[in-house]
């Protein structure tokens, strides 16, 4: 049996296939993101907006010397806002993990089980729970590996610098080059580790069980193709991001005069007046953001499911 393989180009563009085959499903994912995550989070942030506006409006003039009473009042407002933000961040983290697992599961299902079309491929079952759990564990492992590599790299870099400094200017130059190589090697090790464990999500979803280090065996000999797929996917996303920014820039430029006039008319008004004036813009932005997130998730998650599908079909991890 030949070595398992997959098409890096075909996998990187698999998200477009999902969008083309099931555009209504992708819109449904956007609606789920809007109703269960982005909408509620914006609503929570909206309730905190008066506090933020009040802080900005009461900030002392840099040209004057603020009193200790004003400083204390400002600090109290900032602490109150920070406490509120901690609660919002916790809700966002928990809700975001669950919603991301459900939508990512729908993307995986659209690739791996395309006949399961009901409910726009959306489910909340064992597969989604395992997917959410393995994603959390991957995040924790990445942070642990990141700090471990950072500490080891810092120690090696310090040793190289001290040794090189003893050799004068030439030694410092060599030390600088060696430190750059250490940094690049550290980044390479992190990327390699991430790629070797990148099939944990699709494997956990497809097999309905927790799969993490099984991905290490599954991806043996595939790091180069996975890296190529990831680079191509990143370039595609960057190009699409530039298009989105261009459209938003044109829209902002066209309405800038009106927004500027609105802001000028609100000077000195209470926070409630600002919220009333900008709620329509916030509502439109919330809807647009939710549906853009759905299309982005299709583009980001489908390639890994496609790579897993082709690798599994060609016997990866069986030898």
C-alpha 114/C-alpha 32 separation (Å) is: 20
Which strand (E) or helix (H) includes residue 112? helix 68-112
Tell me which of 91-105, 164-178, 238-252, 268-282 is least confident.
Answer: 268-282
Q: Among 202, 97, 185, which residue's Cα sits nearest to residue 139? A: 97
pLDDT digits 0-9 by tens, 282-316: 788 888 989 999 999 999 999 999 999 999 988 77
**Integer Cα distance of 157 and 200 in angstroms:** 33
Residue 67 has pLDDT above 60, yes or no: no
CA distances to 138, 139, 229, 304 from 215, in Å: 12, 15, 17, 12
The gap from C-alpha 288 to its chain's centroid, in whole angstroms, comes to: 17
Angle at 312 between CA 111 and CA 10, to 5 degrees: 50
Lowest mean pLDDT segment, chosen from 95-99, 137-141, 268-272: 268-272
- Say yes or no to pLDDT of 1 above 50: no
């Amino acid at each position: 049996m030949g070595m398992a393989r997959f098409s890096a180009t075909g996998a990187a563009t698999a998200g477009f296939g999902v969008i083309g085959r099931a555009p209504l499903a992708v819109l449904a994912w956007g609606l789920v993101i809007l109703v269960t995550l982005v909408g509620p989070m914006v609503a929570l942030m909206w309730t905190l907006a008066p506090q933020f506006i009040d802080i900005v409006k009461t900030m002392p003039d840099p040209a004057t010397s603020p009193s200790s009473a004003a400083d204390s009042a400002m600090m109290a407002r900032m602490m109150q806002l920070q406490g509120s933000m901690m609660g919002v961040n916790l809700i966002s983290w928990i809700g975001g993990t669950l919603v991301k697992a459900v939508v990512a599961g729908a993307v995986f299902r659209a690739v791996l089980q395309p006949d399961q079309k009901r409910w726009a491929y959306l489910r909340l079952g064992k597969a989604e729970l395992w997917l959410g759990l393995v994603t959390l564990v991957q995040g924790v492992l990445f942070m642990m590996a990141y700090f471990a590599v950072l500490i080891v790299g810092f120690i090696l870099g310090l040793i190289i610098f001290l040794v090189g400094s003893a050799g004068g200017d030439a030694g410092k130059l060599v030390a600088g080059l060696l430190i750059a190589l250490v940094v690049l090697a550290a980044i390479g090790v992190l990327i390699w580790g991430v790629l070797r464990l990148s099939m944990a999500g699709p494997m956990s979803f497809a097999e309905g069980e927790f799969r993490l280090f099984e991905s290490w065996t599954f991806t043996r000999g595939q790091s180069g193709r996975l890296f190529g797929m990831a680079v191509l996917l990143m370039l595609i996303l960057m190009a699409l991001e530039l298009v989105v920014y261009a459209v938003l820039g044109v829209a902002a430029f066209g309405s800038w005069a009106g927004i500027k006039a609105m802001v000028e008319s609100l000077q000195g008004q209470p926070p409630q007046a600002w919220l009333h004036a900008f709620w329509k813009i916030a509502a439109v932005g919330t809807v647009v953001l939710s549906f853009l997130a759905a299309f982005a998730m299709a583009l980001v998650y489908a390639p890994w499911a496609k790579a897993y599908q082709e690798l599994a079909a060609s016997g990866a991890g069986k030898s």
